[in-house]
A and B are shown apart, each in its own frame.
Chain A
Amino acid sequence: MAAPNLQLDIAHMLAGGLVLASFLLLYQNRIFALLKVFALHSLLLSVAVAWQADIQGAPHLYITAGIAVVLKVLIIPGALYQMVKRLGIHREVETVVGIGPTMLAGMGLVALSIVLMLRVTETADTLAREDLAFALAVILLGLLTMVTRRNAISQVIAFMSIENGLILAATGARGMPLVVEISVAFSVLVALIVIGIFLFRIRERFDTVDMQALDRFSGERT
């Protein structure tokens, strides 16, 4: 066995923790707890990014980490929290599939992403390989969360967790230009505004943000 590399191990641990947090998101079925887990998810991400900024010697990643903290640990969960309170949404979120099959499917996705990414990235360095594998796992878990939830808020949180996975991937890809990352962050912010407007309008129209209520309109007109 190779000598342990503590720097890599910590990076591995933080990224692995992000995958674990994604599982928590997948498991959690109460909205406020979901928001807290999402804040934790983002916090783990920013710590992971900051750590990689340190070991890669890439100071611009600190900015990425800073943006993640401000935007995704504080502003977005805070804004969503306010929205949930003002909209008076039911606290429990209906899931479409049972928790057991969901979790197993999640495991399958993690296994898939690890196998896939490790296969194709043999030429890349260890850090990038691990980051990409974990990032794909986070993205796929986010997608799974999105399809197993009916509630608009949980879908939004799942969307944001996918963005977190993407940032992890971008971090692992050493030297991705900062301008790209800033614009990604900007687009997420715009997305949040769009979401906010829509949540209020949906609520106004339907008296609920349960997407199942919306479904009944689609059968009619196909």
Chain B
Amino acid sequence: MTWDVAVNLAIQGGQMLVVLLLAPLLTGFVRKVKARLLRRQGPPVLQPYRDLLRLLRKEVVLADSASWVFRVAPYLIFAATWVAAALVPTFGLGLTFSWSADLIVIAGLLGSARFFLALAGLDVGTSFGGIGSSREVMIASLAEPALIIVVFTLALIAGSTQLSTIAGVMESGAVGLRVSLLLALVALIIVAIAENGRIPVDNPATHLELTMVHEAMVLEYSGRHLALIELAAFLKLLLYVSVIACVFAPWGLARPDAAPAALGIGLGAYVGKLAVAGFLLALFETSIAKMRVFRVPVFLGAALMLALLGTLLMFVTRVR
């Protein structure tokens, strides 16, 4: 008994490490693919790790006006995001803590991370931080409802908001072909793009004052604080990819109490899915232009509409 518990805990711990280690890799991979698509050499895939290590070694410079909120925020942001990312089933179902791997919990954790980030952006009192925070909150006010409605649709289909259960239902093939799922997927992808500050909502590679959102908030950070925030951003991207993969492409996920080989297959499949998602993201970002900030609400509004429509259509099928 205790042995089982220990193994399960080990697997859960393994999952936490896997997401932490893979997150910078995913970002590095996306950057590399983007560079190659533009016929540039691009930085090495492992560059994000080096950046993080470099930042961790550097001294922290604090603004005079910074309060304790500014100093505490990076740790809270990182912790919340990491926990959220580690809860999503990546390679296996039915892990020890999967009872808490609820989509609403994850949305809540991300929400609190965003709250602290916005607070930290405001704390120093520079105009950039303020712009960034206000834009971030504007985006969130549309993206979060969309996310919640997508969760609602999924819950209608699977009868649960727990990711393990949803993934199990999806994999079993009992769902059939649903236009609602397609709408939910599109909505979720739009939300993911907005939340991670990818093109066309935000450009993670620019510091142009007119357009930036995320970078504007973290402009005052340095050293290990910046490293944590960057890592949290990497984790967030990984988290969204994991959620989408887990719900819409649950193939290869190891069943509860599966043999170690199944876990290996699950891990392999997971890395494969990440690679595909990263490639598609890079392809999408290179083929589209950044949109003006005041167009963003329309873009996110579309996600909200699609999610709502998906839910409504779901109600039609429930009568069968």
Contact = CB atoms under 8 A, between A and B. Distances in A.
B185 to A, nearest CB: 13
Contacts of A20: 179, 183, 309
Interface in B158-189: 159, 169, 173-180, 182-183
A9 B301 contact: no
A4 B174 contact: yes
Contact of A4 (B159, B173, B305): B173
Q: With a 10 A CB-CB cut-off, give which of B182, B313, B315 has the most chain A CB atoms.
A: B313
A16 B180 contact: yes
B316 interface: yes
A33 B309 CA distance: 22
Given A3-B174, A4-B176, A12-B178, A130 B316 contact: yes
Interface in A33-82: none
Contacts of B169: 1
Contacts of A107: 305, 308-309, 312
A9 B174 contact: no
A133 B316 contact: yes
Q: With a 10 A CB-CB cut-off, give which of A2, A16, A133 has the most chain B CB atoms.
A: A16
A17 B308 contact: no
Contacts of B312: 107, 110-111, 114
A187 B185 CA distance: 40
A193 interface: no
Contacts of B180: 16
A interface majority secondary structure? helix
A145 to B, nearest CB: 15
A13 B305 contact: no
Contact of B313 (A2, A4, A16, A99): A16
Contact of B179 (A5, A6, A16): A16
Nearest to A5: B176
Interface string A152-193: 000000000000000000000000000000000000000000
A1 B179 contact: no
Given A4-B173, A13-B177, A103 B319 contact: no
A198 B21 CA distance: 68
Nearest to B175: A4
A214 interface: no
A13 B183 CA distance: 11
Q: With a 10 A CB-CB cut-off, give which of A3, A13, A23, A133 has the most chain B CB atoms.
A: A13
Interface residues of A, number: 30
B interface majority secondary structure? helix
B320 A126 contact: yes
Interface in B300-320: 301-302, 305, 308-309, 312-313, 315-317, 319-320
Given A99-B298, A114-B316, A126-B320, A13 B309 contact: no
A129 interface: yes
A146 interface: no
B85 to A, nearest CB: 30
Contacts of A130: 316-317
B320 A6 contact: no
Contacts of A17: 179
A96 interface: no
A91 B312 CA distance: 33
A130 B317 CA distance: 8
Contacts of A2: 320
A8 B305 CA distance: 24
Contacts of B316: 12, 16, 114, 118, 129-130, 133-134
Nearest to B177: A9
A205 to B, nearest CB: 36
Contacts of A4: 173-177
B139 to A, nearest CB: 15
Contacts of B305: 23, 103, 107
Interface string A101-118: 001000100110010001
A100 interface: yes
B174 A126 contact: no
A97 interface: no
Nearest to A99: B298
Nearest to B313: A16
A6 B312 CA distance: 20
Nearest to A18: B179
Contacts of A8: 320
Contact of B319 (A3, A23, A118): A118
Contacts of B313: 12, 16, 19
A6 B317 CA distance: 12
A147 interface: no
A172 to B, nearest CB: 12
A129 B318 CA distance: 12
The 3 closest A-B pairs by CB, nearest first: A4-B176, A16-B179, A9-B177
5 contacts: A6-B177, A16-B179, A20-B179, A100-B297, A130-B317
Interface of B: 159, 169, 173-180, 182-183, 297-298, 301-302, 305, 308-309, 312-313, 315-317, 319-320
